[in-house]
Amino acid sequence: MSNVGRTTPSSWQHWWYRTGRFGASHAVLVLIAATMLIPFLWMVLASFKPLEEVESLNPFPTRLVSAKDVAPFDQGVLRRIARYVPRNYVEVFKQIPFARYYFNSLFVAAWVTFLQCLTSSMAAYAFSRLHWRGRDHVFRLYLATLMIPGVVTMIPNYTLMVKLGLLDSYAGLIVPASFSAFGTFLLRQFMLTIPPSLDEAAAIDGASHWQVFWDVILPLARSGLITLGIFTFLGNYGSFFWPLILIKSEHLRTLPIGMLYFDTMYGRQTNLIMAASVMNIIPLIILFIVSQKFIVKGIQLGAVKG
């Protein structure tokens, strides 16, 4: 009889070995992912609990939110909306100006992102498309600043803000973070992948350096700009140390600073802190879901020098 189509014992053993190895590796990855998600799930579940139940062994709230759990509002519309919102989330807005903190974080992060993308793209154009004496040496010195810890430059930056009169202001939060050696390096790598013939063709047509930069190079480096913008926004939205030492007024506090004072001034209200934390990370989750394909594409293109 022919043995065509039959599987030998060695083939079965090889198949079982590959299947077991595949299943074991995925089981390990699932376990690691579950371990990383446990703190996040605990935070979300704790944001729906009363304070006395936060440290209980039962991870889920013992009862659902009802109308009596909702703090009263004078405004009719807000009161009707509050009926569908858990009490902890309503209490956060009652005890602290959380909406103001939200606005400050989004406002500062948006301006820093815009200015950093603008300044980094202009510097990257100068380092990648223009030819001038000592360009590469200056770029190496520029990159060397990445090795300096931010704590080292914090005191000089603070002294500079005091002398410029930018202490306790939006400008003091925005201006020092509007320049980035990392952003310049990232966009320079993108611009090096653009053929120089495009610059030459634009110059022959009479375009100036600004027109080449704005109309030719910048649109082609869009993936790099989006990647830099995402990284910049994520980094500045959760900035803590610089706003902590610069901001004194309550109406200028960002979310991390506002939550710090909330935790210290009103006692340890873990359930409310968890509710504020959930609302804090919602914009970051939405931004990551919407832009993850741009992050992957940007990193892949930026890693190749053409």
Of 97, 100, 73, the C-alpha closest to 85 is 73
Provide the CATH topology of domain 96-302. Answer: MetI-like fold (1.10.3720)
| pLDDT value of residue 172 | 92
End-to-end CA distance of the chain: 59
Spatial contact of 284 and 237, defined as CB atoms under 8 Å apart: yes
- Listed by start position, the domains of the chain span 9-46, 96-302
| pLDDT value of residue 114 | 95
| pLDDT value of residue 36 | 85
Spatial contact of 112 and 174, defined as CB atoms under 8 Å apart: yes
Give pLDDT tens digits along the chain (306 positions): 445 445 455 565 566 656 666 677 778 888 888 888 888 888 888 888 877 777 766 666 655 444 444 444 444 544 554 554 577 788 888 888 888 999 999 999 999 999 999 999 999 999 988 888 888 899 999 889 888 888 888 889 999 999 999 999 999 999 999 988 999 998 998 888 888 888 888 888 888 888 888 888 888 888 889 889 988 998 899 888 899 999 988 899 999 898 888 877 766 788 888 888 888 888 888 888 887 777 666 665 555 444
Q: What is the pTM of this model?
A: 0.77
| pLDDT value of residue 125 | 92
d(CA 182, CA 290): 23
